[in-house]
Amino acid sequence: MVNKLWGGRFQKDMDEAADTFNASISFDARLYAQDIEGSMAHCRMLAKQDIINEEEATQILEGLMEIKREMDRGELQIDEDHEDIHSLVEKTLVEKIGPVGEKLHTGRSRNDQVSLDVRLYTRETIHRVTDLVKEMQKALVDLADKNIDLIFPAYTHMQRAQPVLVAHHLLAYYEMLKRDRQRFRENLLRVNILPLGSAAVAGSTFDLDRNMVAEDLGFDAISENSMDAVSDRDFVIEFISASSILMMHLSRLCEELIIWSTQEFGFLILPDAFCTGSSIMPQKKNPDLPELIRGKTGRVYGHLMALLTTMKGLPLSYNKDMQEDKEALFDTIDTVEQSLSVMSRLLAEITFHGERMQKAAEEGFLDATDLADYLVGKGMTFRKAHEVVGKMVLFAADQGKELNQLILDEMRDFSRQIEQDVYDWLDPTSCVKRRNLPGGTGPEQVKRSLEKAKKELES
């Protein structure tokens, strides 16, 4: 068998179409740095265990470092002649230093090697993604801080509900992203397990020092079962799952930015640098970037479902189906990193229409719950107060008025417990200030939340 690491048992070359279909070099080439890093650690361990001698180890390590430099500079051609990145690195090493390069694969298989590479790559990615999430959290905190006094309607069922501070709304997304960072950090605990030494499926007959390799590569522990180690892609599924939840949060925010930027709402202006125009309608300013992030969320969901479906029927241990993990993982990583980067930059340039938002908070009976609370304070049960205020809302709507536009006598027709002080309860600013409890939208509480968020981001 020509040019295959596993060709000794075969008499005929692989079918050309099947060879192309089987190859993964077109996408797993991005693992070259991790593959070389893992190979160097494996080589140092082989020398320490006297499985290869020091001179052989030195030759192999120098050859791998040279290959790494060439690949960093883009000088080493990556083409379909190589089945995967592991084959490319090994064949190039043998070409550089001769048969001694063939000793590098002693005590390992591509099965544990690829798991190692993907774990190293995912570990690096988690650090980058959590940093990007943190940058977006900073952008949200900055935007909230700049607009700390703005009031606008909170919505339930897409109907105006109660007045809140815009900063309180933005900090809701800060909390979502905080959970996202926690999920990725928890994912890291299960990523950072060394599979190398599991070999193909049963472990190795060589006296490998797996703990040495784990320490060399910065892993917290070694895998406990060789069959599990080579067939485990839970950590990839978990990463894509955490990414899907993160993208869901980005999509929800994008949906709100899109809605708020419409003329019907008019709550904010999206920066020109993150919008596009129409090829036929000169007046258009389209929120393409938030729309794209919203759309790419479905793309990440698709990768999660694809990999879950791929893995659900696989017997132990390694199966070629598992090659499908990489394109799903890599595309998820690219999508998440780009989306986070764009969102942070977009948030930094948003401008709110404060007057329009305030006016919206003053219309639509957003003070109805406060009026019910007022009546409770006068001794009425909440259920009764709810009924009375509902009737008042119906009456006011028929009159084309807001609750605070009703005269006192009109209000007292519904309850004699209503006094002149009721009007203090029907001002949106007062409605917001009154919710001064932990987690509420009261200005003092929101300022405390902002300060807490700033400290969390500094730590």
User: Measured between alpha carbons, how far is 169 from 24 in angstroms, rounded to an integer?
Assistant: 45
User: Measured between alpha carbons, how far is 114 from 53 in angstroms, rounded to an integer?
Assistant: 25
Q: Is the pLDDT of residue 10 over 70?
A: no
Q: Note the pLDDT of residue 7.
A: 62
Q: Is the pLDDT of residue 383 over 90?
A: yes
Q: Which residues, 6 or more positions from 66, have their beta carbon under 8 angstroms from its beta carbon?
A: 96
351-352 vs 268-269, strand pairing mode:
antiparallel
Q: Is the pLDDT of residue 274 over 80?
A: yes
Residue 278 appears among annotated catalytic residues: yes
**Of the listed ranges 78-82, 196-200, 276-280, 378-382, the one predicted with least confidence:** 78-82
Report pLDDT digits (tens) over 206-229: 999 999 999 999 999 999 999 999
Q: In terms of CATH, what superfamily is 8-106?
A: Fumarase/aspartase (N-terminal domain) (1.10.275.10)
Residue tagged active-site, from 26, 42, 82, 157: 157
Contact (CB, 8 A) for 229 and 195: yes
User: Measured between alpha carbons, how far is 170 from 353 in angstroms, rounded to an integer?
Assistant: 15
For tokens 């009007």, name the residue. Answer: 423
Report pLDDT digits (tens) over 435-459: 999 999 999 999 999 999 999 999 8
Residue 157 appears among annotated catalytic residues: yes
Q: In terms of CATH, what superfamily is 111-206+220-358?
A: Fumarase/aspartase (Central domain) (1.20.200.10)
Report pLDDT digits (tens) over 49-99: 999 999 999 999 999 999 999 999 999 888 777 888 999 999 999 999 999
- The CATH fold assigned to 368-426 is Ribonucleotide Reductase Protein R1; domain 1 (1.10.40)
Contact (CB, 8 A) for 372 and 366: no
Q: Is the pLDDT of residue 2 over 60?
A: no
Q: Note the pLDDT of residue 1.
A: 44
Q: Is the pLDDT of residue 279 over 80?
A: yes
Residue tagged active-site, from 26, 127, 278, 341: 278
Contact (CB, 8 A) for 403 and 367: yes
Cα separations in angstroms, 122 against 185, 239, 296, 334: 12, 8, 20, 12
Backbone angles phi, psi at 415, to 5 degrees: -160, 125
Angle 166-172-174 from CA coordinates, rounded to 5°: 110
Report pLDDT digits (tens) over 258-267: 999 999 999 9
User: Measured between alpha carbons, how far is 186 from 194 in angstroms, rounded to an integer?
Assistant: 16
Q: Is the pLDDT of residue 299 over 90?
A: yes
Q: Which helix (H) or strand (E) holds 361?
A: helix 354-361
Residue spans per domain, the chain:
8-106, 111-206+220-358, 368-426
